[in-house]
Amino acid sequence: MKMTVYFDGNFWLGLIEYDDDGDYKVFRYFFGKEPKDDDVFNFINHKLNDLIKKYEFVKTDISLKRTNEHKKSPKRMQREINREKRKPVVSTKAQLAMKTIHMSIKNERQLSQKCKKNELRKHRYQLKQEKRYQKKKGH
């Protein structure tokens, strides 16, 4: 799991990238004004788990290659950190993952709205039929 806090020109955002059993997922969290350390720790300790659980059903087709982890020398680690700092914050892989998550949530919402609409339509039809039946009954 990797979290990057960055300024996009207007607001401070947190970009959370993590690998869930080979499934690459990315979330963007809006901090607003410049976050203090306490704000970031509060987010990590309290809100991050809820955010991950909220979207755990979403599957992305982007996967990460697993590399065998071995102990790196401090100089190599420092070079990699500096290289990461020079990279743009939002990678294309992260953008693709966020887009697929967004589209799957959108499709879920559309399906649920369609089902609710059909149920409401059936309910109204049943009420109308009952009303017609009562009129014919003459009471």
Which tens digit of pLDDT belongs to each residue from 18-36? 877 777 788 888 888 888 8
* Per-domain residue ranges of the chain: 2-65+86-137
pTM summary value: 0.46
Strand spans (E) along the chain:
2-7, 12-20, 23-32
From edge to edge, which strands make up the β-sheet containing 12-20? 2-7, 12-20, 23-32
Which tens digit of pLDDT belongs to each residue from 61-84? 665 565 566 788 999 999 998 988
pLDDT at residue 114 greater than cutoff 70: yes
